[in-house]
Amino acid sequence: MRGEFEQIRKVWAPLAAGAPGAYDLRNDAAVVRPPPGEELVVTLDTLVEGIHFLADDPPELLARKLLRVNLSDIASMGGRALGYLLSTAWSSRIDDAWVEAFAAGLAADQAEFSVHLLGGDTVRTPGPLTLSLTAFGSVAQGRGLTRAGAAPGDLLYVSGCIGDGAMGLLCRRGELRSLSLQEQDYLEQAYRLPQPRMALGQALLGLASACLDVSDGLLADVSHLAKESGLRATIEAPKVPLSTATASAVAADPEMFALALSGGDDYELAFASPPSHQGHIEALSQHLGLPLTCIGHFSDGDGLVVLDREGEPLELGGRGWVHF
C-alpha cells in the first residue's frame, strides 16, 4: 500500500479539489465557512468491519453509505451539506485498489450531494477496518430542527417506506429467499445505499416542529421524538408505509412487520407537524416526488402507543420491539 503522504496526494487530494478551505489537504486544519446568517451543523458516525459492515461489502457502496448516514443526520436538522472529514484505520487486507474503489464511491456521492472532503487522518490498524466520518452542514441561525418541539395535536409523518433497511439486511444474509430476486435486490440496495432526505429536511424548516432520521428503528426513534418533546406519540400501525418488497416479506411471515417497525437503517425522516400544515405537506410530497405519510399524532402524556387495525394497543417491549 502507498505511504500516507502519497495516498493523500493521489487518492484524497482530488476529493478536496474545489473546496478552498481544504487547502488541498496540505494544512494542519481546514476552514469551513457557513453561508452568511447560517450556523454549522456537525455530526459523526463510525463503522467497524464485522460490526457495522462485512468484509466483502463493495468498497464503493461502503464509502457512500458512510457518507450518507452522516448526511442523513444533517438532513434531519434541516441543514444543507457542506463537506466532511474522514478518518480511516486500514486493516492489513486493504490494498491500494480497495482504497481507490472506496475513494471512487466518495467521489460519486460528492457530486450527487455537492460536498467535498476537507481533511482527515489516515492510519493503520492491526484490527478490523474502522471508518469514521464527520459531516458538516449549515442551517439558518437558531432555526435547525431538533427532536424537541412537537406540540399536542401535531401529526406524525414519515418519508418514503419503513422497514426496507431491516429487510435488506436479512436479504444480505440470505434470510429472505422466499422473495423474488428482484425484491431481494431492491431491499439489499435500500440497505446498502440509503437516500439521505436532504431536500425534504430543508423544506421542513418552518413546516415541522420536530424531526429526526429513522436510524435506530421507527419505534425507537418516534419514542425519542415523544420523549424529547415531553409528549406521547401514537402510531397507527396499518398506516406505516411499506414497499411492495417489504409487504411481500410481511405477507410471507407476519412477524416481519415487527422487524420492519423496529429494525433500523431506514434513514427516512420522521417528523411532527401541526394539522394546519397538512396541505403544505401534501404539496411538498408532490413536489419532491416522495411519499410523506401521516402515521399518527402527538398528545399530552408520555411514551409510545402503537395501535393495530382495530385501534387496539399493541404491546411494546423495552427496546422498541413490538411483541404480538
The answer to whether the CB of 209 falls within 8 A of the CB of 272 is yes
67: amino acid identity, one letter: L
Phi, psi (rounded to 5 degrees) for 203: -70, -20
Per CB under 8 A, the segment of 130-138, 182-190, 230-238, 245-253 that binds a copy of itself is: 130-138
The answer to whether the CB of 175 falls within 8 A of the CB of 184 is no
Helix axis angle for 244-252 and 164-172, nearest 10°, is: 70
Which residues in the 137-166 window bind a copy of itself by CB under 8 A?
A: 137, 139, 141, 144, 146-148
In angstroms, how far is the first alpha carbon of the chain from the final one?
A: 52
Q: Confirm or reject binding of residue 194 to a copy of itself (CB under 8 A).
A: no
| Interatomic CA distance for residues 115 and 44, integer angstroms | 15
| Interatomic CA distance for residues 212 and 15, integer angstroms | 29
Closer residue to a copy of itself, CB minimum distance, 46 or 278: 46
Closer residue to a copy of itself, CB minimum distance, 28 or 310: 28
Options 110, 134, 159, 229; binder of a copy of itself; rule CB under 8 A: 134
Residue of 120, 117, 131 whose CA lies nearest to 61: 131
Which residues in the 34-53 window bind a copy of itself by CB under 8 A?
A: 34, 39-48, 50-52
Provide the mask over 253-292, with x wherever binding to a copy of itself is found by CB under 8 A and - wherever it is not.
----------------------------------------
Phi, psi (rounded to 5 degrees) for 198: -65, -50
CB of 141 to a copy of itself, least distance (A): 7
Count residues binding a copy of itself (CB under 8 A): 60
| Binding positions for a copy of itself, rule: CB under 8 A | 21, 23, 26-34, 39-48, 50-52, 72-74, 76-77, 79, 85-87, 89, 91, 118-121, 123-128, 130, 132, 134, 136-137, 139, 141, 144, 146-148, 212-213, 224, 228
